[in-house]
Amino acid sequence: MLRLLALTLLLITGFALADETVQDAARLARQLLQQETIGNLATVFPSSHPVLPGQPFSLMECFAPCHSNGSLTLLFLPIAQNNRNILASPYHSATLTVRVRDPSSPYDSEGKGWDSPASRGRVALIGNVTVTGKDGSDVEECYLESHPDAEGWLPGRKEAPHNAYWARFDPHHIYWVGGFGDEHYIGYIPLDLYQKAAPIVNGMSEPLIIQ
């Protein structure tokens, strides 16, 4: 009955009734973005595209949580299709989705039932991308902590295979799905709450598991 009530509320209002509060969701979203630094970036082909005008496009994207307000650092390669779409967008718009990674075992913590991906947290960040230039003195070290393999791709590197810039992804809307709606928060997180939220787990040694 409670699950039915939660799903009904979600369908009507876009929000789910759960023990997990929006404040919890804000902290969990910030924690997730510190722990998982690879997501999917989605953009839209510009109206001028000869084959796919107005069609959606999405691919894997690396990011790093280098800003205290929850904005994210990107390594921006103009050759990439997503970035071409961003540059062609009037507002440089994009959506980044990130989820809690799959566990090593497909079963729950007790080794019994199937551990469904739908029971784990995920977040969609709708926002804008600002290309900040070649100077990454304020974010380079942070980015390499998350992606040490990107060393040879950084802006200004002579050996870099492609031209690259630093960029900042600033979300203006955040949508959180903590898991099943009768247990977790599902809905929008106010931007100011997201920006001020502190992660629930302060260290990165403990993986985030939302079930």
DSSP per-residue codes, the chain: -HHHHHHHHHHHHS----SS-HHHHHHHHHHHHHH--EEEEEEE--TT-SS-TT-EEEEEEE-B--STTS-EEEEE-TTSHHHHHHHHSTT-EEEEEEEPPPPSSSB-TTS-SB--GGGS-EEEEEEEEEEEES--TTTHHHHHHH-GGGGGGSTT-TT-SS--EEEEEEEEEEEEE-SSTTTS-EEEE-HHHHHHPPPSS-SSSSPP---
Residue 3 is predicted with a pLDDT of 42
Residue 5 is predicted with a pLDDT of 46
Residue 207 is predicted with a pLDDT of 42
Residue 39 is predicted with a pLDDT of 97
Whose CA is closest to 144, among 60, 64, 61, 35?
A: 64
User: Buried (b) or exposed (e) across 124-141, using 16+ Cβ within 10 A?
Assistant: bbbbebbbbeeebeebbe
Residue 144 is predicted with a pLDDT of 95
Residue 181 is predicted with a pLDDT of 67
The domain ranges of the chain are 22-196
Task: Show the CA angle centred on residue 68, arms to residues 162 and 166, nearest 5°.
Answer: 15
Q: Which residues of the chain have pLDDT under 50?
A: 1-15, 202-211
Q: Which fold has domain 22-196?
A: Pnp Oxidase; Chain A (2.30.110)
Residue 4 is predicted with a pLDDT of 41
Residue 9 is predicted with a pLDDT of 43
Separation between Cα atoms, residue 23 and residue 143, nearest integer Å: 27
Residue 104 is predicted with a pLDDT of 61
